Amino acid sequence: MALPAAPQSPGDTGFDALLKQGFEFHQQARFAEAIPVLEQARRLQPGDYFANLLLGIDLLRTGKPTDAIPRLQLAARVKPAEEFPEEYLGEAEAALGHFAPAAEAYQRAVERGHGSEQALEAWAGFALERFRSLGEGLRASVSGTAAAQRLGQAALQPAPPACPAPIPALERKLAPHSPAAQRSSAPPDVETAYQLSLCYAFAAGQAAAQLQNAHEDTAAVHRLRGDVLLRIAADAPGAEAEYRQALAAHPRDPALLERLAEAQLTAGDAEGARLSAQAALAIDPHRREALRTLASVAMNNRDYDQALPTLRQLSHEAPGDRTVQVELARALAQTGSPQQAAALLASALGEGYPDEKGALHALLATTLRKLGRDADAAKADAEARRLSDAFQAQAAHGSPDASQ
């Protein structure tokens, strides 16, 4: 997302000088240096729009989304016609895994911005990322695999059906700590995940059409086309071509570079993906998808020592991402840190992270055994066997797609 316009200060008071200095740090992506300066300014004028907005953005960029949220919420209240606070608020909520309030914030940004290019692009990017992650969640279980395949076909239709319910309501229904989920020990709600995925595909398609009609920035259109090809059509080479066209206009855009890296990795070009991700991080060291790509390249090569610092940073940047937590646990288990690995695995599994085949429980058992916790290891082993047996039985008698 673009930076907000420079704050206009009427004079050179203490507050004005601090705000100006903080904004200069912010523009130079020196977010950690900007935070204490902007905090001083905010203490002088607690309700100032720019002090709260910039502080919220910089807290978000330094991996502190929880601290960023109240600052961004205040900025949004101070200027209810501005879209910027809502866009960043959506990003902060998404980083914590709070997808219902994230969707609401992005939708408010589109309303406030009257369908501005930046607000549409941010909303579409979130929608497509949720489409991807929901699809991954569906494919983690036998019961969801057929739905995921059905989803891929339905999302490619020219006009997928509109939502049966608002996206935030579906997100709350799907959330692991919703009252419905707490009352039931059943597997994740496959039908809700399927419906929600279609809603996100529909929303992204609408945003793409609006951007296409605007014709203000062709690079934005190419970027969104690339996102659709990558997330929905599973056409990584086509996405790469779109991102390269966008980069021709904006060669130092870290968001485009990190998307190019993801497309390259999906297409099998691991070295190209690594270089593109590194280029994105050289411009903005807090790009989460670029960090994710670098970690994936290292983990795929079983270079766990190389993956560890990237996964640690990614875990800090996106504390609500349980997939990152599990990948970090896997790397720690392979590099002689069983205690940390066991703690992360136990936390993720305890919060409902899918392990239908029992592989993660088996890894937890291994780490617990290394710690001398044989009784706990035996329990984890037993659960791993139970899950594996149940998976094999369901695969044998259930969906023919289960082996995929």
Residue 257: CB atoms within 10 A of its CB come to 27
Residue the block writes with tokens 């941010």: 122
Query: For residue 325, with 0-12 CB atoms within 10 Å meaning exposed, 13-18 middle and 19 or more buried, which class applies?
Result: buried
CA distances 330 to 313, 325, 333, 356, Å, are 15, 9, 5, 17
What's at 285, amino acid-wise?
A: P
Q: Are 195 and 170 in contact (CB under 8 A)?
A: yes
Token pair for residue 49? 């729009």
Question: What is the per-residue pLDDT for 7?
Answer: 62
Question: What is the per-residue pLDDT for 221?
Answer: 87
What is the DSSP code string of 162-193? PPSS-HHHHHHHHSTTSHHHHT--SPP-HHHH
Residue the block writes with tokens 């766990």: 304
What CATH number labels 321-396?
1.25.40.10
DSSP SS3 for 31: helix
Token pair for residue 68? 């960023």
Question: What is the per-residue pLDDT for 239?
Answer: 96
Q: How far apart are CA 153 and CA 147, in angstroms?
A: 10
Average pLDDT per 10 consecutive residues for the chain, totaling 404 residues = 57 82 92 95 96 96 93 97 96 94 96 90 92 84 76 71 82 70 51 91 87 76 90 92 95 94 97 97 91 96 96 88 93 95 94 88 96 96 94 70 39
Q: How far apart are CA 256 and CA 118, in angstroms?
A: 14
- Please state whether the predicted TM-score (pTM) of the whole model is above 0.85: no
Q: How far apart are the first and last CA of the chain?
A: 37
Q: How far apart are CA 250 and CA 217, in angstroms?
A: 11
Residue the block writes with tokens 């692991």: 176
CA distances 183 to 25, 177, 196, 297, 347, Å, are 49, 10, 21, 39, 20
Question: What is the per-residue pLDDT for 403?
Answer: 38
Question: What is the per-residue pLDDT for 1?
Answer: 59
